[in-house]
Structures are given as structure tokens and as C-alpha cells.
Chain A
Amino acid sequence: MQQTRDSIKDIWGERTPYYGSWPERVDERTLEEPERWVQSACVLCSNDCAMDIGVKDGKIVGVRGRAVDRVNRGRLGPKGLHGWEANNSPDRLKFPMVRKNGKLERATWNEAMDLIVRRSKEIVKSHTASAIGFYTTGQLFIEEYYTLGVIGKAGLGTPHMDGNTRLCTATAAASLMESFGSDGQPGSYTDLDTTELIMLVGHNMSNTQTVLWARILDRLEGPNPPAIVVIDPRKTWTADKASVHLAPRVGTNVAVLNGLEHLLIESGNIDTEFIEQHTTGFEALKKALSSYTPDAVEKITGIPSGDLLRAAELIGRAKSMVSTCLQGVYQSMQATASACQVNNIHLLRGMLGREGCGILQMNGQPTAQNTRETGCDGALPAFRNWDNPDHIEELARIWNVDPVIIPHWSPPTHAMQIFRYCEQGSIKMLWVSATNPAVSMPDLARMRAILDKHDLFLVVQDAFLTETSHRADVLLPAAIWGEKTGTFTNVDRTVHISHKAVDPPGEARPDLDIFLDYARRMDFKDKDGQPLIKWGDPEGAFEAWKECTKGKMCDYSGMTYEKLSQGSGIQWPCNEKFPDGANHIYTDFVFNTSYENCETFGHDLDTGAVTSPQEYKAIDPKGKAWLRAADYHPPHEVPDGEYPFWLTTGRVVYHFHTRTKTGRSRQLYDAAPDAFVQIPEADASRLGIKEGDWLEVTSRRGMVQVQAKIGRIEPGQLFIPFHYGYWDGDFRPRAANELTITEWDPVSKQPHFKYAAVNISKISPQQLSEDPDKEKHRGVFQSIGSLIDTISGAILIGGKH
């Protein structure tokens, strides 16, 4: 084995201190000497580090970072260096399977697709397309999403399409729309190279995007290091580097941010000319903020007023500033309202659209940006507005269909509502691609019951048996990254191409081919009787996507597969004006808020009520950004006598999503083999809990049993990582989402994973309960026949507990 560094031990690697231009450092790890390298980018977090895939004898044998790329300049983190091993995992799904007499049995592609098409047609006939839903992911490629989007919106015409991006990135989109009129990130990674201050809100970057964090670590060791402000209830590695760390009580982000805004206005550290010329809503905001004095904020959040003042002073003094938000904002109370307050801070100080100034409303997953852009998450493609008839007309023209087929009579259905409709029986067919709701959704007992419903026809497209896929009526084996070609975009709008390096195992097929096959068999037609989907390969799909985005903010029209295959990834907008992409958007401070351009007419941040087109016309800010005010509201579930602790959930550095990939790399597996509960020292000693003790954690929804890790968390709070489910063995209940609430932000509809009231009690190892998903071993694992050995191999990796 060759490796340039041990990323398991040293997560971020050696420092390359700098200011201005981030030096290269190429990280590489191969198990054998590759015969050739194939250009790609990593899909194990939202950073999208560019890499080359090393191939030997038709197998992936390693990866190395691409020095030429603007995103990572050659670096790769532990997941990137190790995660590719999942491709070679012996327990990949190799054949389609169809449920017969309660068991999944091997089938041909023809049988499986034929069944899906038959059921689709029956359901559409008797219940309309509104009885069919799609639940996709943040891990496919643009080409696949766009094709699926056209199938759903112009082929079937169902309003029920969403992705698991609802769980990770919906608030990023919602807050950008509320502040700037449309989605589209007003930041660039290069802003980090010169900025004077970085504010991380609810974003544990050291764990979630390790290579981006390395960029900041390098700035901190170079000349003119930036000040760092961290807002996070936990004492994370990120917080360790903070100039000021504000650790608020769970669910109080709005109060903290309001407090900062209040201080900025009070001290006059705002750009009044910018506010005057480029924003609307200042007076109302100022009024709403007036009660958020440092003392009032301390009462709500527990943050000492001196700390808040220090943070406001740093922010007020900085001449440039970058802010990032992630799940600590998006999956908590008043998610959209809080993220909008971060946007406000930049607007109040005129800190965007130029070098060193930007907002990164982060994505959780590698291609989540594209789920949003292409319309697979409910929005319409290329940031079009479902409530604007002109935008619908435009889409209908591009697709050559009658506008009435495109569902636009009400807001697109969000994931949580899709599952609710499944529960109630009005959605009768659900097609899940590349995601695992049986572990990642809140309130798992309820989720399992929904997926197990007999009257729900469940199609799952995945590379592995998961807690979700073993419940399928039809299970389609999918090719994954490295086995297919496509493009995707990260949070700084950089688009990468990932080329096919090897063949998929067995009969597994690229998701694009599966969707194209479905469209063909369903015989979707355009207005002239021609096939609705006019492409048959990734490049054709990309060309169609370019046409859909031409002239829109996320303009891809200047890119080609060839151009993307040359050096660095390219930022959108990329068109005639910006042939090599643009580092910043909104450089003229004209935002997408005019009636004609905006992606939304806005919402009431407390209730989610939509503003009507007529109302919007009356208040059209014509390019000025919205300063959105929000009052703090206490969380809906708070600790009480019965459930005295706050639970918050999140990631660990070595894993991603539900570990379907990272759990199949031996070293990542060993680095973080099991769920745990992090408990504050004070509470642990009060309750006589020692490191490694077994604890039962209960909420009103369910229970998990996990071992204790002591320290680095504020008193009264607990943390459990959300990656761990049940696919890799027989376990006691351990998935964090057994405990979480089915509840969501009123605007972005993102679920509240970040707080739930829980209780803990000590148990002995003999008291561990049964695996809540033990059916999997009877239901599927036994019925795959030829796969059975490798499945038990996977269980062996997991180890019995």
C-alpha cells in the first residue's frame, strides 16, 4: 500500500501556511500501483474535492487529489482517501430483485422494470399521478436528477418529488431565497484565502468538511490570520480554534444572531449606504431587534454578555468576512429565520459580492446543490418559481409540453409530507433512489411502519442492502460513483465531472440508465408525439440541462464535458460573459428579488404562509435584498422532569450519511465502529457514569442503548452521532433517529434533528435489547442465495454485539 499520509490519525494533514493563494499538497492512497488515472471528484461530503481514481485490472485501487483544482488543491480527507473501497465491497447488489410471497427474489431487469411500469400505469389510471412519489438523494449526478425531474414533472406530472436534501440543505436554499430572491450561493472558497474574519454558525467544519477546514487551519498559521467566531453548543475541534466561541443553549440561534445584529446597529458598525441602496426592510428589522440587548440574549441563550460583545466587536471591525452555516442552524428551531439572520449580518455590513466576502450556506451532501438546481427537491429547475406562470410557460417550452402537465397549483410536496401521504395511503407508490430513510429520517419507528405498509408499492434503487432497501417491493441494483459519468456542483458553485473508471458489478446499472429505461417504457411523449426525454446518455442529459439553465443565474451553458475534463472544476455562472466561470455573483448588488426573477414570493418565517403573487407585486423590491426579521421562539419540546436532557445529533469525522459507503472501508469502520452518547462531565459524575458505561437513552418516540463518552459538551446536553443503523449486524437499538421528533421548519420544511428532550439511565450489557430491524435477516438476507456468503461477510466486519 502507498499513502502520502495517515489521514485516520492526522485528519487534516500537514500545514501549508498561507495568505492569498492556497498552496498545493497532493494526498494519495493506493492499495496497488494504478495502470491509469481517471478524473473525478469525491462524493463523501459537500466539499467535492477533485480527485483522480486509480484503476488496475478493471478495479479501483486508489485515489489521489487533483492539485490543479480550486476546491482542494490536491488534498483529500480520510473519507475521500478511504471511502472508495466501498465500490469493491463484496456485498454490492448485483441483480434486480422483486418481492414474491413476502420474499425478495432475483429477477431480470425486464421483469423488474415491467412490474414498476405496470403498477405506475394502474395507479395513475385510478388515482392520478398524485398517488406516486419520488424520494431521491443528494448523491446522484446532475444528469440523473434532471432526467428524473423531467420524468416526474413533465412525464407523470406529480407534485411529490423531494430528496433527502430536505434533511441536509433545504434551509440553505430557503434562506437564500428569502434574503436574495433565489437560491445561489453568494460566496466562493477563494474568499477564505484573504478574509479577515470567518464566522461558523452551527457548523463543525473540522468534522464535516475536513479539507475546507485544512484551508482555514493553513490561514491560521499564515500571515494575517483571520479571526474566527464559532457559534455552537458543543466544544468541537472547530470551536477550539475560535477567537470567540459562543455556546448557546440548544434551539436559541435566532436570539444569538439577533443580539449580534442589534450590537452592530447600536455601535454604528453597519454600511448605511449599502443598506439604503441595496436592501429593504431595515426599519422593521431594527425595531424587531431592539429588545435583543446582551443581557436579554444572555437570559435566553446562556451566552455571557461579554462574549457576545466581543464577537460583535470583531465582526464590526473586520473589513471582510465569510460566514458559513450548517446543520446546527438548519436542523434546529427557526432554521430559516436563523440562516436569514446570518445573511442579514452580511447585508448590514455590505459584505458580499467581492473578494474576501461571502456567505456559504453549506450543503450536507456532495450533489445536494444539484438536487435543488434541477428540481428534484420540489423546486422547479434552474431556480424557477412554481407560483409564476411565466416560469411555467418557459419550462413547458423547453420541454415542449402543455404547461398544465407541470404541477404548479400548490407548493411542491416536501419529504416529510410525502411520507405522511404514504402513511395515510394517498401515495401508493414511492420510488426511493440512493438514500436510506429507515435510518436518516426522524422518528424511525414511525418511518419503518410507513415503509412496511402493505398498500405502499416501494421501489428502491441502491448499491447495497440497507435498512430501507430490504423493505422494497422492487429492488434495483445501482452503479455508483466511479462506475458512471456525470457532473455535480458544490457550495462554491464549482462544477466537477466524474468519469466512469470501472464497470459496475453484476447487472448493476447507472441510475441515469434506470430512469431513461423507465421513461421509455412509460412512453412519455412531448406535445408533438416525440419522446419526452430526448437524450440517451450522460452527455446528452448535460446538454439538455445547459439549455434549461441558459440565461438563468445558475447558467451552465458555457460548459462542456470536454472543458470540465481539462483542469480545475468550473464555477457557474459559466456562459459567454464568463467563459471560465465567475468567482462571485451579485457583484453589482442587484439581487434576484424582482417579481420577474425571483424563485419565491416569500414566506412568513414563523408560519410558512406564502406571499401571493399579487401581494408581492405590491411590495416588489426590484433587486434589493430582503432584510428578514424574526423573533425568538422557544423550541416545541423542552427538557422537563421526565426527559431532563437535550439531545442533539450530528456527524463524526470518519463517516457519512448512514455509512453505506464509509462503513465498508475497514479503516474508517475501525476508526469509529459504533454509536455513542457524549455526556457532560458534571452530569456524568452526578449520575455516577463512567466512560464506556452502557446507557439507555429514551425520548417520547423511542429508545437507544449506547456507550458513554464523557466531556466536551455543555451541561444538560447530550450528543449522539446519526450514522449508525442496523445493516452491518445484529444490534441493540442504536440509531439516533429512534429518538428525534417528526417536526420541521415552517419555511424550509427541514426536520428538527438538533433537539429532543431525552432521559438516560445506566444499564448492564446483559440488558441490551433486540435489534429493532431484525426482520432484515429473515426477509432478505436469506433470500438472496448467491449473495449470502458475502452478506455474512459484511456482518463479520460489523461484529456481533
Chain B
Amino acid sequence: MFIANYLGLLHGSEIHLRDSLKKVAEHHKNEPDIEYICKMLASWSEVHIQNLERFLKQYEEHKESEPDKLQHSLFQGTRKGGLGLLRDLHDLYLLASEVELSYMVILQASQALRDKELENFCRDSVKETERQVNWLKTRIKQSAPQSLVAAG
């Protein structure tokens, strides 16, 4: 059973997303909406991470060694300026999408496992992940034309 590995993957992705959101919030302070919204979105991930712990423990003994290579790093570090912001948001979007997808995968598995609690956790959390993804999409759409066309 690979469920523990996938939970680990989700856990890693959530941590990565939370930390990257915080970095972007800090780095793009001059864009005030970015600062406080990214902080708020990071706090949602933080709660997910805490709630995940018990499921990680629960399935720990089933952990297999194979899919660790699934862990990869998307977010390298923040960049400057309007285009930099767009690229950072782009990365955040991919990170958040990865989290969203992981929830979907685990949600499917949780149903096969008849693990109602895990299922509910996934359903509740992924709603917030979707909101994270939606905000990133909205903000990216807004900055794209200005950064690519008018700047420079």
C-alpha cells in the first residue's frame, strides 16, 4: 500500500506551498494585496499540515520505499519586479495545483479504504486549496498583460 507515501507527498507539498507563500508575501511587500493574502493562504496550509499529522502517523507502518522520487521542488526562490511577481505566482499556482491533485488522489483512496475521517479531511481541505488556486489564477490573469506587454 502506497497511501503513506502519498500522504507524505501531500505533506511535503503543503509545507512547500506554505513556505513559498510566506516567502512571496515577504518579498513582494510593495504589492500589499500579495502580502496579506499570501499570508492568509499560508495559514490555511498551516492548518492542513497540522491536521495531516495524525493520518501520517496512522498509516506510517504501511510506508513503502518507492515513490519518494515524486518529491520535487518547484519553487526556487523569489524574483523581482512585475515579471518576477508573475513568475512567482506562476510557481505558486503549480505548487497549489500539486496539492489539489494530491488531495484528489488521496480522496479516492480514502473511499476505497472506507476511511471516513480521511475522506472528510480531504474534502474540507481541498475546498481551501481550490480557493488558493482560484486566487492565484485571478491574480495571474490580472498581472499577465501588464507584465508582458506594457512593462519595459
Residues of chain A whose beta carbon lies under 8 Å from any beta carbon of chain B: 127-128, 130-131, 159, 409-411, 413, 416-417, 420-421, 423-427, 604, 606-611, 633, 636, 741-744, 746
Contacts and interface: CB of A to CB of B under 8 A. Distances in A.
B82 interface: yes
B54 interface: no
Contacts of A604: 131, 134-135
A609 B135 contact: yes
B33 interface: yes
B37 A426 contact: no
B37 A409 contact: no
Nearest to B137: A609
Given A424-B81, A633-B40, 14 more contacts: A130-B145, A410-B141, A410-B144, A410-B145, A411-B141, A417-B142, A426-B147, A426-B150, A427-B150, A607-B135, A607-B138, A608-B135, A742-B32, A743-B33
Given A633-B40, A744-B33, A609 B134 contact: yes
Contacts of A411: 138, 141-142
A126 B134 CA distance: 33
Contacts of A743: 32-33, 36
B151 interface: yes
A607 B149 contact: no
A410 B142 contact: yes
A424 B33 CA distance: 16
Nearest to A606: B40
Nearest to B29: A742
B42 to A, nearest CB: 12
Given A411-B142, A609-B131, A743-B32, A425 B37 contact: no
18 contacts: A159-B145, A410-B141, A410-B142, A410-B144, A411-B138, A420-B31, A421-B146, A424-B81, A424-B82, A426-B150, A606-B131, A607-B134, A608-B135, A609-B131, A636-B36, A742-B32, A744-B32, A746-B33
B122 interface: no
Nearest to B134: A609
B92 interface: no
Interface of B: 30-33, 36-37, 40-41, 81-82, 131-132, 134-135, 137-138, 141-142, 144-147, 149-152
Contacts of B41: 607
Contacts of B151: 424-426
Contacts of A633: 40
B138 A610 contact: yes
A636 B132 CA distance: 19
Contacts of B145: 130, 159, 409-410
A604 B134 CA distance: 9
B46 to A, nearest CB: 15
Given A425-B151, A426-B150, A427-B150, A746 B37 contact: yes
Nearest to A129: B150
A609 B36 contact: no
A159 B143 CA distance: 12
A291 to B, nearest CB: 16
A608 B36 contact: no
A128 B150 contact: yes
Contacts of B132: 607
Given A130-B149, A424-B151, A425-B151, A609 B81 contact: no
B149 A128 contact: yes
Contacts of B147: 426
A423 B41 CA distance: 26
Contacts of A426: 82, 146-147, 150-152
A421 B151 CA distance: 9
Contacts of A159: 145
A753 to B, nearest CB: 14
Contacts of B30: 420, 423
A636 B144 CA distance: 27
Given A604-B135, A608-B135, A130 B146 contact: yes
B41 to A, nearest CB: 7
A737 to B, nearest CB: 15
A609 B152 CA distance: 28
A633 B37 CA distance: 12
Contacts of A609: 131, 134-135, 137-138
A607 B82 contact: no
A413 B81 CA distance: 18
A420 B142 CA distance: 13
A746 B39 CA distance: 13
Contacts of A416: 32
B151 to A, nearest CB: 4
A31 to B, nearest CB: 47
B96 to A, nearest CB: 12
Contact of B37 (A421, A427, A607, A742): A607
B88 to A, nearest CB: 15
A417 B150 CA distance: 14
Nearest to A751: B32
Contacts of B82: 421, 424, 426
A342 B30 CA distance: 32
Nearest to A741: B32
Contacts of B36: 636, 743
A368 B45 CA distance: 40
A379 to B, nearest CB: 15
Contacts of B141: 409-411
B27 to A, nearest CB: 15
4 cross-chain pairs, A with B, having the tightest CB-CB distances, nearest first = A609-B134, A130-B150, A609-B135, A607-B135
A128 B145 CA distance: 11
A163 B65 CA distance: 59
**B36, B141, B150: residue with the most chain A Cβ atoms closer than 10 Å:** B150
A668 to B, nearest CB: 34
B150 A127 contact: yes
Nearest to A745: B33
Which of B82, B144, B151 has the most chain A CB atoms inside 10 A of its CB?
B151
- Chain A CB within 10 A, most for which of B33, B36, B134, B149: B33
A421 B146 CA distance: 8
A602 to B, nearest CB: 11
A427 B147 CA distance: 11
A722 to B, nearest CB: 19
A50 B151 CA distance: 47
A159 B141 CA distance: 13
A623 B64 CA distance: 54
Contacts of A423: 30
A741 B29 CA distance: 12
A421 B150 CA distance: 10
A257 to B, nearest CB: 20
Given A410-B141, A424-B81, A426-B82, A608 B149 contact: no
B145 to A, nearest CB: 6
A636 B36 CA distance: 7
Contacts of A744: 32-33
Contact of B131 (A131, A424, A607): A607
Contacts of B40: 606-607, 633
Contacts of B32: 416, 741-744
A435 B41 CA distance: 35
A175 B131 CA distance: 20
Nearest to A636: B36
A595 B23 CA distance: 38
A349 B81 CA distance: 49
Name, among B37, B145, B146, B149, the residue most crowded by chain A CB atoms within 10 Å (CB to CB): B146
Contacts of B142: 410-411, 413, 417
A183 B137 CA distance: 25
A98 to B, nearest CB: 25
Nearest to A443: B32
Contacts of A606: 40, 131
Contacts of B37: 607-608, 746
Contacts of B138: 411, 607-610
A426 B86 CA distance: 14
Contacts of B144: 410
